Amino acid sequence: MNNENSDETLYPSKEDLVISMDESQLICPGNHIVIRVNETTLSPETREFLKTVRPIGIHFGKDAFLLDEPYTVWLKQYLLLRSDIMQATGRTRMIWALDHEGGRVIRTPPPLTKFPYPLNWQSKAGTVGSAIGQELKSLGINLNFGPCLDIFSNPKNAVIGPRSFGTSIDEVCQRSNHFIVSLESAGVIATAKHFPGHGDTIEDSHFELPRLELSDEQLLNRELIPFIENNTIPLKAIMLSHILFPKIDEQYPASLSNIVGKMLLRKKLGYTGVAITDDLDMKAISGCYSPEQIAHQLLTSQINFALFNHSLHHAASVASQLERLFKQDLQEHRSLHEQNMRFVNTLPENGVTELPSELLHQHQELALQIGEQFAVSIEEFTGA
């Protein structure tokens, strides 16, 4: 992971950045919540949630954009949506995210570029990273939920498949590193996923809880290497997968496991960046664990941000349990609160701007040059 002394790299020192939060700010569960907004205009339900829970992060689904309208029209409405979100939450600094990988994992409408799956990029991974970074930055996005650092080691694994950079450790390490460096140089922070590795699974965690019979030593010898080797710049954000590793933790998947999140990621690998869960509305989690269990495990596992894509009710229930735990022992969780705020306060402040047609044409040409040799179709998860 190569994060020794990386507090100074990732965040300002405590002397440079003094965070002054009273008790009401510290117990705000919204400081740990990221939700998906998937509507062009806030519904009363969403607006009320934003006002009461005050989530610190938003990521946008494809229906947050006017998909059939011209660029200038949908961009203007998107800017209004962001303004409404800021007003409702009362926040001036937030996580603005997209789940943007390539292939089927692209939410933005034309003329922004629909790049093929990362398995197709090969030597152009860095060039694609720059292009995606420019386009996401123009939407005011400061955090991308990508790339996948999973190794496509199981040919039957359709849920990852060509979302991976390659079928070997070296391919994934080299290509993902070039992508991350270029994306972040363009002004958008990367989120490496799905820790500790989703490439060898068959089950889809959107619908069920995958299991991998791997020990931590086996993970260190393959699945974890891309997360450890990406050291040109330290990883600032990692997303944890909904995979059960019974040889490591028999009860909880990686996203909720104290052994994986705290002991393996934090202590053994020395990671000091922020940890984010995959979507907690997936059946692998919402169908197996209560809001009380989820909240407790998030805190004991030192997970910074909980992600919810489909159910505001579920997000509110977990937030309520987080608030209860904060009030029970505020000091125990203070460092996690402060790390969250340091991260958000050091994210790029990207504005919403219209990109020139010449640049977008260049990106389209790049996508055509790469082509879609590797692709896969799977059942899409609707949260139902």
User: Catalytic one among 32, 178, 198, 206?
Assistant: 206
Active-site residue, 314 included: no
Give me the catalytic one of 99, 150, 278, 281.
Answer: 278
The CA distance from 320 to 52, in Å, is 11
Residue 278 among the catalytic residues: yes
- Residues tagged active-site: 206, 278
